[in-house]
Chain A
Amino acid sequence: SQELEQSPQSLIVQEGKNLTINCTSSKTLYGLYWYKQKYGEGLIFLMMLQKGGEEKSHEKITAKLDEKKQQSSLHITASQPSHAGIYLCGADTGSNYKLTFGKGTLLTVNP
């Protein structure tokens, strides 16, 4: 099984709707990173979470870390077509700061 599981694998929403993407680790989390990727392009850093219960927001995107559950969620409020892309979570599980990534969640926002 994957060390880092993301759900859902893909998501199609109507513009203006809220959505949540989840990331669950099978190992202890020392840091959790969210990135966004346009197909075939580089990863854009969104947010970094390090402490249990930590919550960060940037514009309409909010990410939370539940250290006990070894889980993070990314919530987008009032989605826009510009939010479309692949969202990847990366986890630092204590192995010399190499990041392990989930397979990604493909988000489509229909206007």
Chain B
Amino acid sequence: DSGVTQTPKHLITATGQRVTLRCSPRSGDLSVYWYQQSLDQGLQFLIQYYNGEERAKGNILERFSAQQFPDLHSELNLSSLELGDSALYFCASSVGYSGNQPQHFGDGTRLSIL
């Protein structure tokens, strides 16, 4: 158990809909990262938050947005969903934001778009 909690584990919805994925980081971790994993693209970095502020952005679509709340949990919002958004979405956390700490991953949310 990594200590990172993601909910829900599975989500099935239709095209055009909007969903929210939730992540609770490990106790004491201030950084949260979101990744998308698909068969063709592999694991892709989406966005990072540190102590409530956005720190880095990756290949995140404009239809996607995220935030980190004062209690440090984070939410990833996906809107106007398309079939291609079907993937595993991972949240990871680390103590800080520098490159000398490992990121610990949650079990992911599997999103299926019908």
Q: Which A residues are within 8 Å of any B CB, using their own CB?
A: 30-31, 33, 35, 40-45, 48, 50, 88, 90, 92, 94-104
A94 to B42, CA, bound (A): 20
Q: Which B residues are within 8 Å of any A CB, using their own CB?
A: 2, 4, 33, 42-45, 48, 55-56, 58, 88, 90, 92, 97-100, 102-108, 110
B45 x A99 contact (CB < 8 A)? yes
B90 x A97 contact (CB < 8 A)? no
Q: Which of B42, B55, B88, B98 contacts A40 (CB 8 A)?
A: B88
Q: When A and B form their complex, what is the total count of cross-chain residue pairs whose Cβ atoms lie within 8 Å?
A: 64
List the A side residues contacting B105 at CB < 8 Å: 35, 42-45
Q: Least Cβ distance of A68 to chain B in Å?
A: 19
B104 x A45 contact (CB < 8 A)? yes
B103 x A33 contact (CB < 8 A)? yes
Q: Least Cβ distance of A88 to chain B in Å?
A: 7
A96 x B55 contact (CB < 8 A)? yes
Pairs of residues from A and B, 10 with the lowest C-beta to C-beta distance, nearest first: A96-B56, A42-B107, A43-B105, A101-B43, A92-B99, A98-B45, A103-B42, A31-B99, A42-B105, A97-B99
Closest B residue by C-beta to A31:
B99
B106 x A42 contact (CB < 8 A)? yes
List the A side residues contacting B99 at CB < 8 Å: 30-31, 50, 92, 94, 97
